Structure 1
C-alpha cells in the first residue's frame, strides 16, 4: 500500500487533508499488493477531509509521472492528467476516471507503464483542487476521460455537459464568470501538490507486446495478445506499456 497525504489551510478556521491511496479492484479497501505488473490497472483514490462542515468537491488538476521523487530534478516525464483535469493518458491507454461515490473523493484507473531504458520506480506528481460542488462546471475545474471507442471526451460529473471537455484537445481556460480569486494564489489553500510513490512496476513473466511512445507520445507499437500471470487483487490488461523520454 502506498499512501501520500498533505495538509493545508483553507481558512483561519479550518484545515484540509488530502490523501492519495492505491486501492484494490473494487475500491473497497487499500491494496495490499506489493507489485504492480506492467500493463495492469492501478486503482487510485484522491480524497479530501476537512475540520469544518462545508461541501467540497475534489479534482485532479494535473498529474505527471517521473522516475524520480522530485519533479524538478527529473530529466524524463510523462503527462497523465493535464490541461486542468483532462486524463490525456486515456488517448493511448486504458486509463479513465471512475464514477464518483462522493464529491470528496475521485477515483481513477491507470494502466501501469515504465520508462524505456530506465530501471527505476515510478512517481506521480499531482496537483489536486477542491471547490464548492454547487459552482457550475468550469473548463479549469473538471474531470474528463477520453473514450477511444467513440473518439470523444466525457465529463465525469455530468456526461450531458461533455462539451465542456472539448478544450482538452486545445487549451482550457477559465470562463468569464469564474470567481476572480486565483486558486493558485499563495495562501488560497484550494490547490495542493501530492506525490504518489514509489510505484514498483515489474514486467510479467511472459512477454505480451508493448506500447512504445516516441517524442510526440504517439503509439509506435500496437498490443499483441498473450497470457498474464496472476495479479492478485489487480486486474491485468492485454498490453504492456513502455514510455520513451519526453
Structure 2
C-alpha cells in the first residue's frame, strides 16, 4: 500500500495481469475518467460511503501499452498510472510508476531467436544470426539511427538444430565505415584478444547475462568512430564446446567496480580473463582436440549511423530514417 497526498494505491501483480486499486478524494470522483493506466481508463469506479472513490484497473500485460523487459534472470512489466486533468497533449498532473517483477521462465527464449530480419549466415550445417535489437531487448530494432553515447544491443546466436549443445562466442569485433574490410581500412576495435570486450575498459559496454549458451547480447555503448557516417560491425562468431572454455575461447568484460576482468559464464573462473590485459594465446588439451570440430563465421551488421544530437545535421538523418520507416 502506497500513500500519496491525495490518493492511496494498491498494486497486485498476478500471473499474466495486474490489479490496481486507486483511492481518490471525493472532489476527484467526477474526474475519474481522467485516470489512466498507460493507455487504459479505469475498469470500474466505486464510490465509498465516505464519499471517496476507488478506481479499479484490472488488465492483462498485453493491454494498456505495458513495457516488457528482460534483465538477467528477471522478467519485468512496466507502466504508469496518471491523472490528466487536461488533454493528453499536456503533461499529466500526477504520475505513479507501476512495475511487476517475475523470475524469468525456465527455458525462455526471445521471440527473435529466428529473426526474419538481421543477418543470418549458414556454415557447416549451422546458421549464425546477428542483429541490432530495440532498447527494450524485445525484438529487432526499427531504426539504425543511434544517438551518441546511448546503447545499441547487438544480438548474436547460432542455431543448434541437431548438434550437441553449443556456446556462441564473439571472438573478435571491429567497426568500420565499409561493409568489407580491405587493406588500409580504418578499424575501431570492440572485442579482441580472443573474446575480451575492449570497449568495457574505457566505456560502459558490457555483455548481458545469457538466456541460453547458444546466444549472446553485446550491450555496446555508441562511440565517436564514424560519427554521422554509415558504420558496419564486423564480428567473428564461433560455435564452441561449453565445457572447453580457456584463455583462447571465452567471453570477458571489464568490471570497473572491481577493476578486474570477469568471465560472463562463471565469475569464479575469471582467471581465464587475466590475459585480456596482455596477450591471450594458450589453449587447453581438450580445446585443441575440439578445435577441428568448431565452426566460425565472420558476420557483418550494418549500416548503423551514430549521430551527435547536439549537431543540427543529426535532425536531418533522423527525419530521413523516420520517413523511410513510414514508406
1:203 and 2:313 correspond:
no
The residue aligned with 2:239 is 130
Query: Where in structure 1 are there 5+ consecutive unaligned residues?
Result: 10-14, 208-246
CA offset at residue 140 of structure 1?
1.1
1:121 and 2:214 correspond:
no
Q: Deviations over 1:129-175 (max 9, x none)?
A: 11122x23211111001122321111000011111100001111233
Structure-1 separation of matches of 2:311 and 2:178? 27
Q: Deviations over 1:64-94 (max 9, x none)?
A: 1111111125531111000110001111111
CA offset at residue 182 of structure 1?
7.6
| Structure having greater relative contact order (Cα 8 Å, sep ≥ 6) | 1
The answer to whether the 8 A contact 2:244-2:286 is kept is no
1:5 and 2:113 correspond:
no
The residue aligned with 2:279 is 171
1:108 and 2:214 correspond:
no
> Structure 1 length as normaliser, TM-score?
0.73
CA offset at residue 202 of structure 1?
1.3
Which structure dedicates a bigger proportion of its chain to helix? 2
The residue aligned with 1:193 is 298
The residue aligned with 1:45 is 155
Looking at CA atoms only, which structure, 1 or 2, has the larger radius of gyration? 2
The residue aligned with 1:78 is 188
1:156 and 2:264 correspond:
yes
Structure-1 separation of matches of 2:183 and 2:229? 14
Counterparts in 2 of 1:157 and 1:149: CA distance versus 1, 3 Å: same
The residue aligned with 2:207 is 97
Question: Which consecutive segments of 4 or more residues in structure 1 shift more than 4 A?
Answer: none
The answer to whether the 8 A contact 1:20-1:47 is kept is yes
Residue among 138, 146, 154 paired with 1:36: 146
The residue aligned with 1:27 is 137
> Structure 2 length as normaliser, TM-score?
0.56
Structure-2 separation of matches of 1:165 and 1:201? 30
The answer to whether the 8 A contact 2:246-2:287 is kept is no
The answer to whether the 8 A contact 1:45-1:106 is kept is yes
Q: Deviations over 1:164-206 (max 9, x none)?
A: 10000111123342343584x7xx5611100011111111137
Counterparts in 2 of 1:50 and 1:182: CA distance versus 1, 3 Å: closer
1:66 and 2:176 correspond:
yes
Structure-2 separation of matches of 1:206 and 1:71? 29
The answer to whether the 8 A contact 1:114-1:122 is kept is no
Matched residue of 2:288: which SS?
Answer: coil
Residue among 128, 136, 140 paired with 2:248: 140
The answer to whether the 8 A contact 1:138-1:178 is kept is no
Structure-1 separation of matches of 2:184 and 2:146? 22
